[in-house]
Structure formats: structure tokens, C-alpha cells
Amino acid sequence: MRNKNHIERHYTKWGYFFIIPFVVVFLAFNFWPLASTLYYAFCDLKHAGNTHPDFLPSIGKPLFKNFTEVLKAKYFHSALKNSFFFFLASTIPEWLLAFWLAAMMTDRRMRIKGRFIWKTAFFFPKLIAGTALAGSLLIQFISIVANGTGYSVAAFAMNGFGITADDMKFFTSVQFIIIVVSIFMHFGITFIYAVAGITGIPVETFEAAEIDGATRTSIFFRITLPCIKPMLFFITVVSVVDGIGMYDLPSYFGSFDTTRSNLTLMMYMQNQAFQGSYAYDKASAISLIILGIYIILAVIIYFILLRDKDEIQLKKLIRQERRELKKGI
């Protein structure tokens, strides 16, 4: 046994060796920029191409000047509101649809055919050009459809039912189109990952549940979802990162106007940093606020999905028993 341990130890150095490239590149291109962004947020750094930050207290200004300026701005409030609105309004329907379809398609008793074709079709918008061109195409298409249905429903509603044209306004607005298109763009990814996760569960588990007479809903909530927890975590993170950081789709509607209906946090950040006044310092402050939002969401996701409650309870029990043993001695 000692010998085997010795051999294992001989190989462990390869573990360190193999992660060197990752760690080096991560430190240089992810960590260092993040750290400098943190520093710039407390500096005065304006004008295009300027690389000489002045630390705010050293030029006699309050330390949190950038943050207070950002938090006061009307644009920031709209951006924050829009980002969360877009994220929630697109993720919730997308998830319901994607998980429902994934559960149906992987159901053993139904034997849905052509899963490959469905997967390809759903993934198509992302596949064909990512968000770049497929997005603009979908926007064109959906705005035509939305306008058409909007008008016909409005005309229909004029006859009574108490619906006015104003109620239908949302369905022809820029916001609605952004939401629908982002559902279309993102739906395929969630679907593919969900199917991959569900097919990874051993068939015996489902068989046992069926024999015990479990209904489809209870199988889904009691077996499928708990079994794909790691995958669910992955899907959630992808959704959050893409949702809060949404940038491409809303920016097709041009720079935001006075109504600020398509302004997101990333767009606001980009607008501050690389247009007009080139206020890198303010943009850094916005970046840090976005980072804060990510961290809060990440903690929530972690506690809901990844933390193993049973394991923690087990550890607690073991600790208790040990304490009692010590007392006994």
C-alpha cells in the first residue's frame, strides 16, 4: 500500500504540469484585465487611447465619484431594468418550452422519431451565424409577423372585447421582438444540453419508476431534474451569462433613443467606453456593477443547485458523533 502511494505521488506532478498553460493564460488575459478594471473604476481615465489613469484621491476627487455618477444616471436605471426584463422574459418561456420538449422527446414510452432533425432545426439559428446575421434575419421576420398580427388583432378588438390598440402595443414593440428573437436564438442550446443530460440517466432508473406507477410529471420533477443537476447548473450559467450580458440583439435596433427601450447594461457600458467621451473610468464602474450582479446570481444558483444538502448534513452528523465520543471518553 505504501508503495502504491509512492507511485501515485510520483505522478501527481503531472497534474500541476498539465494546468500550467491554462493558469498562465487565465492570469494574463482574464485575471489581470479584471484587476486593472477594478483599479480604473477608482481612477480618472478619459479620452480615446488614453493609458494613463490618475487615482482619484490623488487629484483631489472623491474615491467613489465614478460609481455615484453611474448610479445617478437615468440611462443606467433603464439599462438595469431592461437587462433584467429581457433576461427573465426570455429565459422563463424558453426553459419551459425546452425542458418540456426535451422530456417529451426522451420519454421511452412515446418513442418520438427524428430527434436528430429536431435538434438540428432548433439549433439552426445559432448554428448558421451565431447572433450576428441570424438575429437580424429573425428580427426582420418577426417584426413583420408581429406587426401583421398586431394590426389584425387590433382591428378585431375594435369590435368589442374591451381590448384597445394600446394593449396590443407591447406586441409590436422593440422589446417584444428582442425577447422573441432571443428565445429563438437560445432555445436550441438549452434543448441540446437538456437532451444530453436526460439521455445520460441510466434507463433502469426510469424503468423502476414506471413499474412503481409514477406519473410523467412526478418522474420529471423527482427523477429527471435531480439527476441532471450538474447539467442544469451548466445550462443556468450559460443562460445567466448570455441573458444579463445581452448585447448583440438589442444593438440591431441602433443606438438607444430617448425612450431607451432597447438599452442593456452591456450596451450602456460599451457606449460609455468607446463612443463620445471615451469615459473608460465610468465604464469600469459599470463593469464592476455588472460583475456584482453576476456574483449575486451565482451565489443564488450555487445554493440552489450545486450545494449537496445531504453531504452537508452527513458531515454535520459525523462531527456531532465525534464530539459525543470525545465527551464519553
Partner 1 sequence: MSTNELTLTAEKKRTIALKITTYVVSILLAMLILSPFILMLYQTFGEEIKMVNGAGDNRYLEIKPRDHIITWKEFKGLFSEGDFIGFKNSMIVTCISTFLNIYFSAITAYAITAYEWKLRAAFEKFIIVAMMVPATVSTIGFVQMCYKYHLINNLIMLIIPALATPMTVFFMRMYLKATFSRDIVESARIDGAGEFRIFNQIILPLMKPAIATQTIFCFVASWSNEWVPRIILIEGESRTLPIMGSYQGSQLLMAIPPLILYLFLSKYIVEGIALGSVKA
Name residues contacting partner 1, limited to 16-45 (CB under 8 A). 16-19, 21-23, 25-26, 29-30, 32-37, 40
- Minimum distance, C-beta of residue 63 to partner 1, in the bound complex (Å): 18
Say if residues 263 and 82 touch (Cβ distance below 8 Å). yes
- Contacting residue, 174, 240, 262, 263, with partner 1 by CB under 8 A: 240
Measured CA to CA in angstroms, residue 32 lies from 28, 36, 103, 202, 295 at distances of 5, 6, 43, 43, 18
Closest alpha carbon to 58 in 75, 38, 47, 43: 43
- Contacting residue, 150, 197, 243, 250, with partner 1 by CB under 8 A: 197
| Residue 143 exposure: Cα atoms within 13 Å on the Cβ side | 12
Site membership for partner 1, residue 92 (CB under 8 A): no
List binders of partner 1 among 116-135 (CB under 8 A).
116-134
Say if residues 152 and 159 touch (Cβ distance below 8 Å). no
Interface map 152-181 toward partner 1 (x if CB under 8 A):
------------------------------
- Minimum distance, C-beta of residue 39 to partner 1, in the bound complex (Å): 8
Q: Which one of 154-162, 168-176, 255-263, 299-307 is the stretch in contact with partner 1 (CB under 8 A)?
A: 299-307
- Contacting residue, 61, 153, 238, 261, with partner 1 by CB under 8 A: 238
User: For residue 146, is it left (φ>0), alpha (ψ between -120 and 50) or beta?
Assistant: alpha
- Contacting residue, 2, 3, 6, 12, with partner 1 by CB under 8 A: 12
Closest alpha carbon to 72 in 289, 232, 247, 262: 289
Q: How many CB atoms lie within 10 A of CB 26?
A: 12
- Contacting residue, 49, 60, 276, 328, with partner 1 by CB under 8 A: 49
Q: Which is nearer to partner 1, 104 or 208 (CB)?
A: 104
Q: Which is nearer to partner 1, 140 or 320 (CB)?
A: 140
List binders of partner 1 among 201-230 (CB under 8 A).
201-202, 216, 230
Q: What is the secondary structure of 197-255 as a DSSP string? A: HHHTS-HHHHHHHHHTT--HHHHIIIIIHHHTHHHHHHHHHHHHHHHHT--HHHHTT-S
Q: Which is nearer to partner 1, 307 or 326 (CB)?
A: 307
